[in-house]
Structure 1
Amino acid sequence: MNSKTKKPSDEWPDFLDQTIRDVLMEKLQFKRMTPVQSVVVPIFTQQHKDVVVEAVTGSGKTLSFVVPILEILLKRNKNDKLKKHDIGALIISPTRELAQQIFDVVNQFLTDLGLFSSILFVGGNSISDDLKNFESNGANIIVATVGRLEDLLTRQNSALLKKNLKSLEVLIMDEADRLLDMGFKESLESIFKYLPKQRKTGLFSATQTDEIDKLIRAGLRNPCNIQVKQKANTQKTPIGLKNYYTQVQPEHKFHLLIEFLKMKKNLKHIVFMNSCACVQYFTDLLKMFMKDCKILSLHRKIKDKRTKVFNEFKNLEKGILVCTDILSRGIDIEDVDWVVQFDPPNTTNSFVHRCGRTARSNREGNALVFLLPNEDTFVKFIHINQQVPLQEFSDFKSDNFKNYEETLNRIHLAASNERELYEKGKIAFVSFIRAYTKHECSHIFRVKELDMVQLGKGFGLLHMPKMPELNKEKFKDLPPFYQKEVSTISYKNKSKEKLRIENMQKPKVKRVVSERNKSWSNNTERKLKKDIKKKKKDLTEKKRKLNELTEDDYKELEEDFKMLKKLKKTKTENDILE
């Protein structure tokens, strides 16, 4: 069954429990249903079908599964009252931020209903505390990330949790495409083993992929496929969202970001970057240039602080959050005015999800992506591939570019006086290049077409760092961007500086570059090893069948090993890092 609708929002149906309706309309101020809710709630609540829901980001998917869960559990509770450890519903999320958000929505209903309890299983909390909490207080609704739930079921081997999951009534997988993108397919299959087959399952996402189809076949029975589009909107982003792009030279890029944020300084922004190192570095720089603005950063490496930072930004009226794609899916932060993609995302689907952090729940919003000169075809590509038209951002004037050298000089001066900032810049640059080499659209984002020198200048580096991708003749005698002996730059942190001086006094030892530090663009040896491994496998199979190898087979394998040995011997000094 394929359900498509362009119906306007409707009243919440009468068959819902009155308390649920009161919370929706009075407490949460959702007087009417969104299109996705008007289709999903009746089907999932009243029909014995699993649902696969595809709807644009910001369309109200969370309530479209939270409301049916509560209605289903209320009906079950009338006939068979849930005990404190009876698990009626399980909601699986790809990230702890999204899980926390869903958990908060669920609890707004539970406070008024007064019948059920809930628990949150996410990383960052003590796993033993999670188990003790469940054993002591129980839970009828579990909201969890995949990794933590798998840990509890397999590594911790919680017998109480396994036993009570057998009574599960409803399973929800939110942002299912992201769950699979993050490599959780095997983890999900492992979790499915502990769940009853007779259950209701809902799978929600903003995009449909082949991997989701495989998951549907593995975990759903008789699914109803629901695709909900907004009226008069053929694109995958919300109808109230205006999408812009600006083309910028690499040396101007960060300066232009500052100019833009100052231009919109009284608003709320999310700025996306492609690596944790870039988030850390550019957050420090933004704080240096915008001291009167609240600037936060969020990425996977700040494990214990993520929830605190996320909640702090949610409560801000205005400010800037610099983050990675960890916040690109499902997160609902009120009144985000602008989403700025400082780096285009590594996957095309992520472009849509990033933009969807604004213009949520029928509000208006704006999104801007920065593109380098070699990335200009991305505008046409995203229009065709994701049905998202981009218009050029026209607010930048020639005056916005005038003082970019002053910006770079200020960064140079700060980095020359603080070694930590100097080193963060180098690490950020290397991480940017390596993320670039892994881009899904490699036909557009080509490393060979990057102007590395101007890009390094735009990062505010004092000099070009040593890395395999830069081991070329044209980079060897390149003068530094800032004339200072970098060995004299010290840490402000005294203990770090003391350790650095001690290490400087030790004799230098050259080390050979490991496999993971080699240039990602140089695949010759890796491919050769892969070919040899395949040939060995083929020959082993042949030996099994014929019980012998021919002389020619041995010779071919011997030649391959000689070639690999020769390649290793001829490595140049460029493969050694000081």
Structure 2
Amino acid sequence: MMRRVRGVAAPPPAERADRRAPQKKKDGAERVDRRAPQKKKDGGVKTSSLFKHNPDIPALLSPVVSQVKEKIFTSDSFSDMDLHPHLVATLNKVLNVSTVTSVQKQTMPVLLSGRDAVVRSQTGSGKTLAYAVPVVQSLQALQQKVSRSDGPLAVVIVPTRELAQQTFQTFQKLLKPFTWIVPGVLMGGEKRKSEKARLRKGINILVSTPGRLVDHIKNTLVIAFSSVRWLILDEADRILDLGFEKDLTVILNSLNSTGPSRQNVLLSATLSQGVTRLADVCLNDPVTINVSGPASSDLTAPATDPGSADQPESFTLPEALQQFVVVVPSKVRLVCLAAFILHKCKFSKNNKLIVFTSSCEAVEFLHAIFTAVLSTNQKPPLSFLRLHGNMKQEDRTEVFKEFSVSQSGVLLCTDVAARGLHLPAVTWIIQFTPPTAAAEYVHRVGRTARIGGRGSSLLFLTPAETAFTTELANHNISLSEMKLEDILSSLMMDDTFKGRGRYHSQSSSKALEQETRERATVLQTEFENFVHSDAQSLQNAKKALQSFLRSYTTFPAPLKHIFHIKHLHLGHTAKSFGLRDAPQGLSAPGGGEEQEEGQPEERGGRRKRLCQQGGESAEI
């Protein structure tokens, strides 16, 4: 008797029957072997049903949520502040901003007075200018005029290369009237020799990722911090999340060993306990600025309590952000995402979508399959871009620039794009794989509805993951449900993926549902045909599946009851990567043989082996 593995449901009788060995019919003919893909009469491969043997979609609970409101704009203007007139003119004409946001109104006077500060404000509220303007104002006002030979006077640490480049460009614009103050950026992926040359010439406002700055501290003799007056840690919680705590220690030790007393600023959309500890180490009697609450000189004040087990942290999101969730069985996930993209990018105008997924391999897989299947079938072709930590830096920079200036299109990315980046006019954020924490959800959706603009977000969950909506509600985040059928119905607008054509718009709702499902199956067949068209495409899909399974094991302990590897049906999950069957030997260079979904213990054993292989690539 086969041993049943706890937590893995036995396959339905119909599925078990599919796995029986070929049998003889009474007339001596052999039964069809369903373990191999069947051939249709037209020579194509038959796709197993997307809509059979799926778990029921449960009713979503809608807990009552009192969302924390944060007013973005004030009635004040930069001209009301005690700033250099040329700086005000640059803000108005070059950066095209005149009205001060709430975080800027509260933060700038504190920083201009010389105080250290911890700043918490929702993403997209203008935190970069909240510290950049005071830095430029103070440096241009120094009695002894700044020169390149002074070296770094302000050091700005950010977690990712894209944010480093964006912050550097902001300083470049602000410094147009003050050409004697020189900004510079250091980040991974750039040539160290060129960076050393720039450091040798002199950089006054130094923007850097933590790892690259530590590299120069250890290996570049010309770098010196004897004149540093400002230290800014932007997206401080993300810096810690990415494992840069040791690098920050090296940086702080270098800064503390020499130089005058300096002003320190920590900024983030969320204040984790790690950030609070970091503030204790590197800030001196800071003012805590919480835009959704009063400013405080007490870092432990309730307004900025990062939350505890009894009272989770409440996050602030833009009022103009509409948040949705769709519950999708694993087998239908790929088709559902494709249908949503078609709806927003083909049948609507001027939509810019960012799709977050869990790994670099998944981004590459989605980019390849959507470019091949969705883009080539559309006129004009849909634009798909990708961004992740395994790309060359010049490619990442080019994608960032291209998506920033485009009017429409889809950016497929990892969480490398989740923090601080300002990508103009993004209308939809799609979280194809769920975030590992409520705070990460906040940062992802923060790429839209920025600086008072409007935007929407859509979170994909499987039926087994729906309790995550309650977890978000505990942090005062409320979602509205979007129905799977409504998303798939957009395929009825596209004759590219029509089914057998037996049903028409005047038909019954049952018939329309049937044709929608047929069109979804046609689209899934195209995806599977692409994946199985050559060895490389098949191997890429298997790598993406493997990385997804690996990432699924990394959810923190408090969320394991929602996201646990034992809840995944490996065969159904494989379908969402265009694979016809749950594969074996994903780590082998050429992949393993495909087979029908195994018995529960076989699935569990393969799952365990897959998830023990390797780690994800760094995203910096």
Q: Deviations over 1:63-101 (max 9, x none)?
A: 00100000110122x235434343211111100000000
**8 Å contact 2:227–2:260 — kept in the other structure?**
no
SS in 1 for 2:261: coil
Gap change, CA 1:368 and 1:170, over 3 Å in 2: same
Hey, what does 1:312 align to over in structure 2?
A: 402
Going from structure 1 to structure 2, the CA distance change for 1:517 and 1:127 (only over 3 Å counts) comes to farther
- Alignment pair present for 1:367 and 2:431: no
Task: Say which of 230, 241, 260 aligns to 1:181.
Answer: 241
Structure 1 CA distance for aligned equivalents of residues 247 and 330 of structure 2:
41
Higher relative contact order (CA closer than 8 Å, sequence separation 6+) = 2
Matched residue, 2:554: 438
Residue 176 of structure 2 is aligned to residue 114 of structure 1 = no
Instruction: Give the match for residue 413 of structure 1.
Output: 529
Q: Which runs of 5+ in 2 are unaligned?
A: 1-68, 295-313, 376-380, 490-512, 588-592, 599-606, 614-620
Paired residue for 2:52? Answer: none
Superposition deviation, residue 306 in structure 1:
1.1
Amino acid paired to 1:117: V
CA contact (8 A) 1:94 1:179 kept: yes
Which of residues 393, 406, 420 in structure 1 aligns to 2:482? 393
> What count of residue pairs does the alignment treat as equivalent?
469
Match of 2:59 in 1: none
| TM-score (normalizing by structure 1) | 0.77
Shift of 1:264: 0.6
CA pair 479-80 structure 1, distance change in 2 beyond 3 A = closer
Q: CA deviation at 1:517?
A: 8.8
Paired residue for 1:63?
129
1:25 aligns with 2:92: yes
Q: Does the residue aligned with 2:578 lie in a helix, a strand or coil?
A: coil
Three-state SS of the structure 1 residue aligned to 2:289 is strand
- In structure 1, C-alpha distance between the alignment counterparts of 2:177 and 2:138, rounded to whole Å: 17
Cα offset, 1:335, TM superposition: 0.0
Match of residue 463, structure 1, among 550, 571, 581 = 581
Structure-2 separation of matches of 1:278 and 1:326: 14
How far has the Cα of 1:113 moved from its partner? 2.3
What are the equivalent positions in structure 2 for 1:23-422 lying under 5 Å apart?
23-46=90-113, 48-76=114-142, 78-135=143-200, 137-154=201-218, 156=219, 158-162=220-224, 165-195=225-255, 196=259, 198-229=261-292, 235-265=315-345, 266=349, 267-291=351-375, 292-304=381-393, 305-384=395-474, 386-394=475-483, 395-396=486-487, 397=489, 398=513, 401-422=517-538
Is this contact kept in 2: 1:408–1:458, CA < 8 A? no
Note the C-alpha offset of 1:477.
6.4
> Greater CA deviation, 401-410 or 444-453?
401-410
SS in 1 for 2:109: helix
In structure 1, stretches of 5+ residues that fail to align are 470-474, 481-515, 523-578
Q: C-alpha offsets along residues 176-228 of structure 1, whole Å, 9 cap, x if unaligned?
A: 00000011111011011121461001100011111111111111111111101
> Cα deviation per residue 1:429-476 (whole Å; 9 max; x = unaligned)?
11111111111221111211112211112221133222599xxxxx99
**CA-CA distance at 1:10 after TM superposition:** 1.6
User: Match of 2:419, SS?
Assistant: coil
1:461-518: CA deviations, max 9, x gaps?
Answer: 133222599xxxxx996269xxxxxxxxxxxxxxxxxxxxxxxxxxxxxxxxxxx994
Mean alpha-carbon deviation: is it higher for 293-302 or for 107-116? 107-116
In 2, Cα distance between the equivalents of 1:344 and 1:45?
40
State the 1:303 CA deviation. Answer: 2.5
Cα distance in 2, alignment partners of residues 42 and 421 from structure 1: 56
1:159 alignment partner, SS class:
coil
Measure how far apart 1:415 and its partner are: 2.6
What secondary structure does 1:226 align onto?
Answer: strand
Aligned-residue offset at 1:417: 2.2
Residues 549 and 610, structure 2, Cα contact 8 Å, conserved in 1: no
Give the equivalent residue in structure 2 for 1:505: none
Alignment CA distance shift 1:179-1:518 (3 Å): same
> What CA distance in whole angstroms lies between the structure 1 residues aligned with 2:471 and 2:197?
51
Q: Which residue of 2 aligns with 1:558?
A: none
User: Could you tell me which amino acid in structure 1 is paired with residue 123 of structure 2?
Assistant: T
8 Å Cα contact 1:8-1:35 kept in structure 2? yes
Partner of 1:11: 77
Q: How has the CA–CA distance of structure 1 residues 105 and 255 changed in structure 2, closer, same or farther, with 3 Å as cutoff?
A: same
- Normalised TM-score (structure 2): 0.72
Aligned to 2:571: 453
Q: Secondary structure at the match of 2:193?
A: helix
Computed over aligned residues only, the root mean square deviation of the Cα atoms, in angstroms, reads: 2.4
Name the structure where helix makes up a greater proportion of residues: 1
SS of 2:247's equivalent in the other structure is: helix
Deviations, residues 362-420 of structure 1 (Å, cap 9, x unaligned): 00000001110100111111111x32100012543446544222122212222332211
